[in-house]
Amino acid sequence: SILGNELLKKIKDYPLLNEHQFFYGHYLGNHYFVLFFQDIYNYELFETYLPGSFWNPTTNINIGTDFEPFNGRTRYAEQTAGGFYATRMGILEYLNKIKRQGSVLVVRIETPDYWLGLGVFVVRESIRKTLLTEHINFDEKQKAIEFFKKQIFDKFKLDISDAIKGSKLLGTLEQKKIFEF
C-alpha cells in the first residue's frame, strides 16, 4: 500500500490514456479481465470466486468488490482485502511505466484450479503477467464495456452485468465533467 501510494502521487500528474484498453490473462487458476478507461485515476476490483475454488467451498458464486476514488481510500479494502492492494500495485506499475493515468476496472475470477491459497504474491504476479499481454484498444467507452462483459461470459458463462451495475467506478465515468458544459 505504501509503495502504491508513492507511485500514485506520480501517476495523478500524468496525462490521460489515449484510448480505452482491455487486457486478459490468467495464472494458477486466477483469471484477470482488466479495462482501462480514458479518465482520471479511479480503481475498482471485483473478485469472483467460482464454486469449488479455494475461497469458496459453496455451490454459489461469491463476488466482493472494493473501490478507490481519485482522492484515495480512508479505510482498508475489506471485501477484497490484500488482493485489492496486490492488484493495485501491478496496475500502478503499468500506469507509471507508460506515464499515463486512467480509471481501471478489474474482474478477477478464481476458479477451482486455484485449490490452495498461496498468498497475495499470486495476485500480484497474475496482474503483472496480465499487463504484459497484448491488449485491445477501443475508442468508445460503451463498446469497451460490452466487449469486457462478453469476454467474461464467453470464457465462464458468467453474466457479470448485475454485479457491475452497482460499480462505483462506472458511476463516476457516467458523471458529466465540468468541461462538457
What is the per-residue pLDDT across 113-148, written as a single tens digit (0 to 9) for each?
A: 876 677 788 889 999 999 999 999 999 999 999 999
pLDDT value, residue 176 = 54
Q: Give the contacts of 141 (CB within 8 A, at least 6 positions apart).
A: 20, 37, 38, 173
Cell (9 digits) for 175: 458523471
- Closest C-alpha to 105, from 74, 76, 75, 138: 138
Helix (H, G, I), strand (E, B) or coil at 134: coil
Q: What is the mean pLDDT of residues 23-33?
A: 95
CA-to-CA distance for 175 and 138, rounded, in angstroms?
A: 20
Residues of the chain with pLDDT > 90, as a percent, come to 61
Q: pTM for this one?
A: 0.90
DSSP per-residue string spanning 145-180: HHHHHHHHHHHH----HHHHHT-HHHHHHHSPPGGG
